[in-house]
Structure 1
């Protein structure tokens, strides 16, 4: 009898405990819902529908599309950045360039002070079967361009290596000129090889003529063309 009463009390206490736990869970859930609801008051879903208002239409109207650049403009800009000269645009520019070259050629043929003729072009120099010819001198922007030819009529090729053509003024001053086309080896075939020499004009102040010196790697060849007129 006592054991039965004890079991009934245990069951009652367990039931009461479960009731309070259930009630506490329900109360926590209600309080959480109420708190969350209060916190989300005033929050709405963003409007993602297309804007058909007058203001929106005006904004879309003012939006610029993709602007295409003409190919000619791109090429012109690239050439300008690279320093490539554009061809003469008309016959007048070509005539002016020809006139400038003619005036320069006339000026270099005579000493500006004495009026006596300087060495005339072409200037041909030979040594050991190698021929160096100075064919022309023309203005080229801020420099003078000398066109030369080299030919080997000997029996052996000539090795110039990475050498350059030395330029000396009539005032015994060396000039840093730019050489283009000088071969490292000149074959013994008698063919003319074109070489261009650009001399800065700012190095020719009060200079009447220049001399060119060219030698091979072994210093056996000595080619020198003196008295090349460069004008005023």
Structure 2
């Protein structure tokens, strides 16, 4: 009786141990499966490697290498294109320069003719002690009356002038302000002809028909140059 109880107890213990072991194994398998879920092993099959290599090769087939003769043709065509463009630009520049030169040659005689064509009533000359002054023209331009003047000294001594002492008056005896440009401060003896301009503001000439100039040398004041009744035409 005592032996049967020992055997029975031993069997019960074995059953409990097997049951607990089975439960532990199942629980461990379940946890391991959950932990490795979504994890895949690398594909080491040779066929897959070959397929991947082939796919990569197909992706790189888009880069086509040109042949040497095709490259030479492209370079030659580009060089010829640039050469033609440069020649065309040079030809255009030459044509433009030729046209401008031709235009200048055509305009120059006209300008010379206009300058040489005397204005009616001009020139008006005066001379003193071998020194002469000549008013060539009187025209309005840029808000002023411009008197073209020429001066020359045929005497034996040089003559100096101070143009701030230039007297300019109208036909009513009123003194007018004026400025000079290009006239020499000294005329050498037996010297060349000098040209310049006397400018009178238009605002001072509303009712003026004639103006006069008077100039003396400085500081000796040995001579006096007077040009009277210069016509003013608008």
Normalised to the residue count of structure 2, the TM-score between the two structures is 0.47
Structure having the higher Rg? 2
Normalised to the residue count of structure 1, the TM-score between the two structures is 0.48
Larger helix share, 1 or 2: 2
